[in-house]
Chains A and B, each alone.
Chain A
């Protein structure tokens, strides 16, 4: 393990030990999120995704993945996942004009605002919001369904293909933008709330349009896919499977530990294979760092593989623990419900898989 990644892991473990592990498995909101933010700053874990020249710490993807994986190993880390998104503004903001940086990037780095990048068209190219050029800016119209509610809390960077073709632009959508409505937050099976974003002939002045942000927007998405969702799902699955194995050694039925039984052994072995696969794919995607088209695809593959595997592994860990696993006395059912959302965050797994299928198949050929 390179020194920088090892150091990241050490810092991440310090965060886990000081503020995440002492929490209940399902901590309550406000106070805990503030405590995590304060501790991240103290340990130098704030602004890790932001390059040094934009005012951050400029961690590599393997370092970021190590951080997320460690934090996700404790239930409170999964439960408060959004606390790790504070202070990490999306990449299209880094290279923006000075005025935009002052107004949007700086408050995000200070922790006064939270910005989130929202993909206005899915991987398959189906578009929810349309752009029409207008004098002094653009007009947006359309609807986006099921966006995490914290995205609408402060600032949405809506990424869309330019209408005349070519690259991607990002639109800075504040709460004060006329015609932009986040609607009421809908409840889900997990802690996350979802909102539907509506753009009703919403005029965005040119000063709030980030032109030609193809590369930063795509890399940011791939970064979230690989270093947050895939690495996080891996951490949660790995730690849960370890607990499942410990329980299988301890729990006795019919005079023998249940781990002696093939039914349990297969669940453990299936889980172990999938953890291994996720580790390899997360490492490949992190090392690639989104630096090429192939590296961007590899981030998608890591995301799909690790998040699907994590849900299956959590499901088996629930099963190994029996009724206790299904109950809220243990964290596993709650972790499953949280991780189920990872399967559609930053792109729905089925759509991502379908879009990548030709490239994946051709990559298998001799």
Chain B
């Protein structure tokens, strides 16, 4: 089931696939059942070998020292990465910086973006709050200017993935509107170790992801660490989140599902008709994925596409992994095969970074209000 990729992307994808098979898959038994962690020296060695193989920061724009493969390239690399259960390892993804930082000014680029691309620093998102998940605009973490060129951050964040190993966090907070002063949801870069930035606990989950709970208590952040204009965090986020929605979860999910179906097929446990039906669903999702990624590379608005791709790819992949597990019976349920791990890790996708229901809502709203049209969804490339 192939979708045509540019030759250069195809070559890098093959190299990534080889790296996954030779370097990552052998480490799968070392992955703890409920954590996305490997010993630090293993990770350091992997990062070194990825860099040696030229696989580091391939999708990062050339102007920041990356390989410039773009969104299509990133999807292809991550699809290959999905072929191992190590795909959710935080540090391995360090090659892909939080893309919002591409919009940063020179100072923040030098302090955050470039060290992150180099693999020296590592950032996490702190957006979700106990009362603000799908309703992200309902944030309550406050960021109040203290009159000395700083903001005082107060509030609580939950489900911040990889925050336990991050050097800095992208924190969304609410700046109160004052007389003659703009307010609204604003984005800050906050270093770990800043007084008042408390890491509270890991939240254990069904899978390897162990997101963190964070508390900010009179945490003083300089104005220089504000990313984007005051009150404009969501404008910035909208621009970039759609691309992330296409390139982060769906290709991983498709890679994992492809491997799961292949395992079932090789073992002779897959009923032909069901195998065919599931494979077709994945094929369609994959075609949608690369179509949307190519649009993103051309700078087109992909917000509608992103929701369609995420909802389609993650649900098709989850179903395929779940069915493969069932065909294997008790073996599929056991840790002897990667299926149970894949299922537990992939089950996060219809929840994290925009639930399945929010994607459906975005799609339906776009059509009902006329922002999007059925006839314009997949115009010829």
A interface residues, how many (CB within 8 angstroms): 37
Q: Does B265 contact A (CB under 8 A)?
A: no
Checking B138, B158, B335 against A323 with a beta-carbon cut-off of 8 angstroms, the contacting residue is B158
Checking B204, B326, B347, B348 against A349 with a beta-carbon cut-off of 8 angstroms, the contacting residue is B326
Of residues 314 to 366 in A, which have CB atoms within 8 Å of B's CB atoms?
Answer: 315, 318-319, 322-323, 325-329, 333-334, 336-337, 340-341, 343-344, 348-350
Contact segment of B87-95, B141-149, B350-358: B350-358
CB of B73, distance to nearest CB on chain A (Å): 30
Q: Are A194 and B334 in contact, CB atoms less than 8 angstroms apart?
A: yes
Contact segment of A109-117, A130-138, A184-192, A215-223: A184-192
**Residue in B closest to A148 when the chains form the complex, CB atoms:** B330
Checking B329, B351, B361 against A146 with a beta-carbon cut-off of 8 angstroms, the contacting residue is B329
- Knowing A264-B357, A323-B352, say if A344 contacts B347 (CB, 8 Å): no
In Å, the complex CA distance between A341 and B333 comes to 7
Q: Are B33 and A187 in contact, CB atoms less than 8 angstroms apart?
A: yes
Checking B204, B326, B340, B351 against A343 with a beta-carbon cut-off of 8 angstroms, the contacting residue is B326
Q: Does A263 contact B (CB under 8 A)?
A: yes
Residues of B within 8 A of A188 (CB): 330, 333-335, 340
Q: Are A328 and B133 in contact, CB atoms less than 8 angstroms apart?
A: no
Residues of B within 8 A of A343 (CB): 326
Q: Are A327 and B203 in contact, CB atoms less than 8 angstroms apart?
A: yes
In Å, the complex CA distance between A145 and B337 comes to 14
**Residue in A closest to B135 when the chains form the complex, CB atoms:** A253
A-B contacts counted at CB < 8 A amount to: 107
Residues of B within 8 A of A254 (CB): 135, 138
Residues of A within 8 A of B336 (CB): 186
In Å, the complex CA distance between A187 and B158 comes to 30
In Å, the complex CA distance between A304 and B108 comes to 57
Of residues 39 to 98 in A, which have CB atoms within 8 Å of B's CB atoms?
Answer: none
In Å, the complex CA distance between A264 and B360 comes to 12
Checking B138, B158, B206, B352 against A336 with a beta-carbon cut-off of 8 angstroms, the contacting residue is B206
- Knowing A254-B135, A319-B350, A323-B352, say if A146 contacts B334 (CB, 8 Å): yes
Mark each residue of chain B from 66 to 89: 1 if its CB lies under 8 Å from any CB of chain A, else 0. Answer: 000000000000000000000000
> B interface, how many residues as a size bin?
35 or more
Q: Are A253 and B204 in contact, CB atoms less than 8 angstroms apart?
A: no
Residues of A within 8 A of B361 (CB): 263
Residues of B within 8 A of A261 (CB): 357
Residues of A within 8 A of B341 (CB): 189
Q: Does B197 contact A (CB under 8 A)?
A: no
CB of A41, distance to nearest CB on chain B (Å): 32
CB of B325, distance to nearest CB on chain A (Å): 8
**Residue in A closest to B158 when the chains form the complex, CB atoms:** A323
Of residues 174 to 200 in A, which have CB atoms within 8 Å of B's CB atoms?
Answer: 186-190, 194
Mark each residue of chain B from 320 to 333: 1 if its CB lies under 8 Å from any CB of chain A, else 0. Answer: 00000111011101
Q: Does B312 contact A (CB under 8 A)?
A: no
Q: Does B128 contact A (CB under 8 A)?
A: yes
Residues of B within 8 A of A337 (CB): 206, 344
Q: Are B351 and A344 in contact, CB atoms less than 8 angstroms apart?
A: no
Q: Are A350 and B334 in contact, CB atoms less than 8 angstroms apart?
A: no
- Knowing A253-B135, A254-B135, A348-B329, say if A323 contacts B159 (CB, 8 Å): yes
CB of B140, distance to nearest CB on chain A (Å): 13
Name A residues whose Cβ lies closer than 8 Å to a Cβ of B. Answer: 145-147, 186-190, 194, 252-254, 258, 261, 263-264, 315, 318-319, 322-323, 325-329, 333-334, 336-337, 340-341, 343-344, 348-350
Known: A188-B333, A254-B135. 17 other contacts (CB 8 A): A146-B333, A186-B334, A187-B33, A319-B350, A322-B134, A323-B352, A325-B351, A326-B352, A327-B159, A327-B203, A327-B206, A333-B205, A333-B347, A343-B326, A344-B326, A344-B333, A349-B326
18 A-B pairs with C-beta separation under 8 A: A145-B330, A145-B331, A146-B329, A189-B335, A189-B343, A194-B330, A252-B131, A254-B135, A264-B357, A322-B351, A323-B133, A326-B352, A328-B205, A329-B204, A336-B206, A341-B330, A344-B333, A349-B326
